[in-house]
Chain A
Amino acid sequence: MYKIVIPQMGDYSTPAKYLISHIIDCEIISIPITNKTLELGSSNSPLFVCTPFKYTLGSFIEGLEKGADVLIQFGGGCRYGYYFELQKQILEDLGYKFEMINLITKGEFDYKRIKKEIERLGLKLNKLKTLYYIFLSIKMVKYMDKIDFYIREHIGFEKENGSFIKLKKQMLKDFSTTKNYFHLKYMYLKYKRKFKKIELDNSKRKYKVGIIGELYTLMEPFANYNLEYELAKMGISVKRYTNVNYLLFEKKYKIKDYLSKTKDYIKYKMGADASDNIARCKYLCKHNYDGIIHMKSSFCTPEIGAMPIINKICKKYDVPVLYFSFDTETSEVGVKTRLEAFFDMIEMRRTK
């Protein structure tokens, strides 16, 4: 039986694991991201590659050391699409023996190619079964994202500490035992009700902040030093739009709308999520958010291009903006200090 490694990104490893373990006969090794992962990844990566490369490479190395023999990389747009080939070369140079599969090539999910690759490993892929489980895991992602929106807005004001996180862990555990669509939907509704029943202390609610930026850094809590949770602890409700559901399904339809809404600033698509972020920035400014936090992994080119324009918008609407650029050597204390200073500034502006 093959042992498979999927790089972690936030909580999305649950649906990914669910999908892959059901369509092919295999065992999945889960690699939680730790400092060791990061160290392994960055010591074997080129100098100024973006940080997600280092995270995923690190988890591959850790997985291979635990005896994995099949690696799965997701691929996609911007630089993500080229990770696969270079990571494969790096791992081969390190002397490991493995098979590697890239899910998205040339911006598309090519079923035939992936079927061929899986059959090369001596495994079988049933089309109907695959489609059914893809459908289920997509639904799972949608439900997770819907609940995440609610959590982000309210987690800072829970009466009993940790009740949101506890319930979410339980939910993910239950989601991974999904039997069929109705079972999944039933669980979603059940947990939605449970989340809404968690008691909140609304007197703490003061400020709201929008988070925009590069997708991996936004979605993986380890990569942004759990920034969302830190904000919540300060009593700030957080709005974040980027999630897997948006990237996979909504982006295609929304991008034109976004471009027309930001006509004064941008004319063209600016690559990756840059124009989306500019549109969101304008939206957040217009809706009286107290501040905007823009974060990216260092050297993320499209986001760097968006920064002067975000600056201009924030200046016009007089909304403070804080830029974070996370590398492998950013210290947690530094991030906290800057956040605290940002919070103090928001507070001062309000009391003026």
Chain B
Amino acid sequence: MNKIKIGIPRALYYYEYGILYKKFFEKLNFDVVVSPKTNIDIFNKGNLLAVDEMCLPMKIFLGHVNYLKDKCDYIIIPRIDNYGISNQTCTNFLSLYDICNNLFDINILNYNIDYSNNVDEIDGFLKMANKFNIDSFKALSTYEKVKEEVEKENKKNIILNRKKLKDKNTKILILSHSYNLYDDLIGKPIIKFLEKENIKVIFPNVAEEEILLDEAKKISKDLYWKTSKKLVGALSYLTNKVDGVIFLTSFPCALDSLAFELAMRKTKLPYLNLVVDNLNGFAGIETRLESFVDILRREIYV
């Protein structure tokens, strides 16, 4: 019997849940297909499908789903409503399932999280497993094993990230959602450029989630989006430890338009506000990055 193929789009929440999905289904003996790293072709196809006012990561996501649609039996599309009343997500994640369901003719493997209605991460995974008639005990034990592995990895990443703080070179904190930062079209070129300039790039995952969420209250009391909270928390956590901050936003990001504006007004660090839109031409961004780096270095050595 052929194995069932499950597709995971490498966009949006892939960078939070992707490895978890992949390991979970591989352990349960499925074939897992992850879409390739974002390239211009994928983006262009997504752009054609999307409404023109949709945000950049959303267009990229649609491109990835489009790539996967003939290559697997099921595609995982997460729908994340909230992580509790004061830890909400962008409304794009609320409507992701329904948008894809209407735009594509595909089998969707539904992963739904809604903490304020008592649907948590475990429920989400069990429901996915139940769809293939895998009994809950087996699914639960696999989930726990996999989760442990992923968490170990996350901790390792945090330690690696923190080690960079001791470096004597110029250190720049990049604040951006994980789906911008680790994406090959949006964030990767910027990181590469900075590393080439001999700069230590600090990622926002500098401490455990709970610490960052707590830390965010020092800058903003009312903020209720989880991803933004983590970023603002990282900024507050590193106030005296980095030389500069880059706010990397994808055009029209709803959360960043408000949360970053407040952070920029409150932080005392030198910052650069980068808005990435339709991805044509890196030269403009390069110039701005160069001059920002020059300013930072002058401040240190003069």
- A residues with CB within 8 A of B: 46-50, 78-79, 81-86, 89-90, 93, 102, 105-107, 265-272, 274, 298-299, 301-302, 304-309, 312, 325
Contact = CB atoms under 8 A, between A and B. Distances in A.
B223 A85 contact: yes
A304 B102 contact: no
B94 A269 contact: yes
B257 A47 contact: yes
30 contacts: A46-B257, A46-B258, A46-B261, A47-B275, A48-B251, A78-B91, A79-B254, A82-B259, A85-B221, A85-B223, A89-B266, A106-B85, A106-B86, A266-B101, A268-B79, A268-B95, A268-B98, A269-B81, A272-B91, A298-B53, A298-B252, A299-B252, A301-B92, A304-B51, A304-B54, A305-B92, A305-B95, A305-B98, A308-B103, A309-B99
Interface string B263-276: 00110000000010
A299 B98 contact: no
Contact of A309 (B91, B98, B266): B98
B53 A82 contact: no
Interface of B: 51, 53-55, 79, 81, 85-86, 90-92, 94-95, 97-99, 101-103, 112, 220-224, 251-254, 257-262, 265-266, 275
B257 A89 contact: no
Contacts of B94: 268-271, 302, 305
A106 B98 contact: no
A301 B222 contact: no
Contacts of A266: 98, 101
Contacts of B98: 265-268, 270, 305, 309
B53 A90 contact: no
Which of B51, B223, B275 has the most C-beta atoms of chain A within 10 angstroms of its own C-beta? Answer: B51
B45 to A, nearest CB: 15
Given A85-B222, A106-B224, A308-B103, A271 B254 contact: no
A47 B258 CA distance: 10
B220 to A, nearest CB: 6
Given A105-B222, A306-B95, A89 B265 contact: yes
Contact of B102 (A89, A302, A312): A312
Contacts of B55: 301
Which of A49, A268, A312 has the most C-beta atoms of chain B within 10 angstroms of its own C-beta? Answer: A268
B104 to A, nearest CB: 11
Nearest to A312: B102
Q: Nearest 4 A-B pairs (CB), nearest first?
A: A271-B91, A305-B95, A270-B95, A271-B94
A81 B222 contact: yes
A90 B257 CA distance: 13
A82 B81 contact: no
A268 B91 contact: no
A49 B91 contact: no
A339 B276 CA distance: 33
Nearest to B93: A271
Given A302-B91, A308-B51, 11 more contacts: A47-B257, A49-B258, A81-B224, A83-B258, A89-B262, A265-B98, A268-B79, A268-B98, A298-B53, A305-B54, A305-B99
